[in-house]
């Protein structure tokens, strides 16, 4: 048992990297990030993609620092080196800056192969480069985004999109849906479930023993005592009061504008917004280019940068790798945190 504990503590995480849309900035931020040899001191990266795509961007970026070991399968993994599992058709060449059907298909094949190895336990975590949510659609991918696809691949579990930057962590009850559908999809069961997912993630994945969670209201001024909507008083507030009685540190509902405007967010470990833009607009205003998207609530570990494909700067050497680098760091940290929990429970 002691030998197993030492092995678990010392083994570097194996982190899969899906290439994302090959016509966007995904391949170049992967190259920029992994060109720093310090990355292989904290994990063993495994890119799922194509040598022709990587070589295309390596030439555009004029970097000679980036080298990898080609694999036919992750079973041939080289630890402490950058690995490439070839899973795209031979010779595929990106048309950087322009979305295409081929780019969408490549993004899906990369994600599919990486997800299969992740589910099989051959990867400790997955970092996903940005996809084009339109181009990737097909027979096997009929989802609004990565989060929903990965939830379906892990038994249809409820998950939580959690945007993180240092001590700022913002989750959303409803994700990629039209604004007109938000109030229809908000239920007491869903809100309570998302709070529970956030609390569990803060404890188990971030090591916060007694997390303090803020819940935002749905309507302007959190409904203004029913004047601007009834959901805050009739749906959200009763859940908060119920959880408080269960000795949970859950507070709200707070008016979203004032909550972020007066820096109340600094007093909480997690913040739950009711819908996508309510949470992501302030988060990205405060953290853009440094934030990480973590899919909480799943048995697997997945992170991603907080930005999209950025076609307008693809291949021009202008894309910052900062958010992607942070996504790798966070994936490694969560792997270690979960390993420590296993050890503590043995």
Neighbours of 148 (CB within 10 A): 17
Predicted confidence pLDDT, tens digits, the chain (346 residues): 344 444 444 589 999 999 999 999 999 999 999 999 899 999 999 999 999 999 999 998 887 778 999 998 999 999 999 999 999 988 898 999 999 999 999 999 999 999 999 999 999 999 999 999 999 999 899 998 898 999 999 988 889 999 999 999 999 999 889 999 999 999 999 999 999 999 999 999 999 999 999 999 999 998 788 888 899 999 999 999 999 999 999 999 999 999 999 999 999 999 999 999 999 999 999 998 889 999 999 999 999 999 999 999 999 989 999 999 999 999 999 999 999 988 888 7
Q: What angle do CA 155, 158, 162 make, to 5 degrees?
A: 125
Peptide bond into 263 cis (omega under 30): no
| CATH entry 3.40.718.10 includes domain 160-296 | yes
Dihedral sign for Cα atoms in the order 107, 113, 116, 120: negative
Domain ranges of the chain: 1-157+298-346, 160-296
- Report how far residue 108's alpha carbon sits from residue 122's, in angstroms, rounded to the nearest whole number: 19
Same CATH fold assignment for domains 1-157+298-346 and 160-296: yes
Q: Which fold has domain 1-157+298-346?
A: Isopropylmalate Dehydrogenase (3.40.718)
CB neighbour burial string for 12-24, b if at least 16 within 10 angstroms, e if fewer: bbbbbbbbbbbbb
């Amino acid at each position: 048992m002691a030998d197993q504990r030492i092995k678990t503590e010392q083994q570097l995480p194996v982190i899969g990297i899906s290439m994302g849309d090959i016509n966007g900035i995904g391949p170049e931020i992967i190259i920029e990030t992994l060109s720093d040899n310090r990355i292989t001191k904290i994990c063993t990266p495994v890119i799922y993609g194509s040598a022709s795509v990587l070589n295309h961007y390596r030439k555009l970026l004029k970097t000679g620092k980036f080298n990898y070991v080609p694999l036919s399968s992750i079973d041939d993994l080289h630890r402490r080196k950058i690995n490439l599992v070839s899973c795209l058709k031979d010779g595929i060449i990106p048309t950087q800056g322009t979305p295409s059907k081929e780019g969408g298909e490549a993004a899906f094949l990369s994600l599919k192969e990486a997800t299969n190895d992740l589910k099989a336990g051959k990867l400790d975590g997955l970092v996903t480069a940005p996809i084009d949510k339109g181009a990737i659609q097909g027979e096997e991918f009929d989802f609004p985004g990565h989060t929903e696809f990965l939830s379906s691949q892990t038994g249809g579990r409820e998950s939580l999109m959690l945007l993180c930057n240092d001590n700022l962590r913002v989750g959303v009850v409803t994700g990629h849906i039209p604004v007109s559908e938000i109030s229809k999809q908000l239920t007491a069961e869903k809100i309570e479930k998302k709070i529970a997912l956030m609390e569990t993630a803060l404890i188990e994945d971030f090591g916060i023993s007694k997390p303090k969670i803020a819940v935002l209201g749905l309507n302007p001024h959190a409904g203004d005592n029913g004047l601007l909507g009834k959901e805050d008083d009739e749906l959200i507030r009763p859940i908060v009061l119920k959880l408080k009685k269960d000795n949970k540190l859950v507070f709200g509902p707070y008016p979203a504008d004032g909550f972020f405007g007066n820096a109340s967010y600094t007093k909480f470990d997690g913040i739950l917004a009711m819908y996508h833009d309510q949470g992501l607009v302030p988060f990205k205003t405060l953290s853009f280019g440094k934030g990480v998207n973590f899919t909480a609530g799943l048995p697997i570990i997945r992170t991603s940068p907080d930005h999209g494909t950025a076609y307008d700067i693809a291949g021009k050497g202008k894309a910052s790798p900062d958010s992607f680098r942070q996504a790798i760091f966070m994936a490694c940290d969560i792997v270690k945190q979960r390993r420590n929990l296993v050890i503590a429970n043995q």
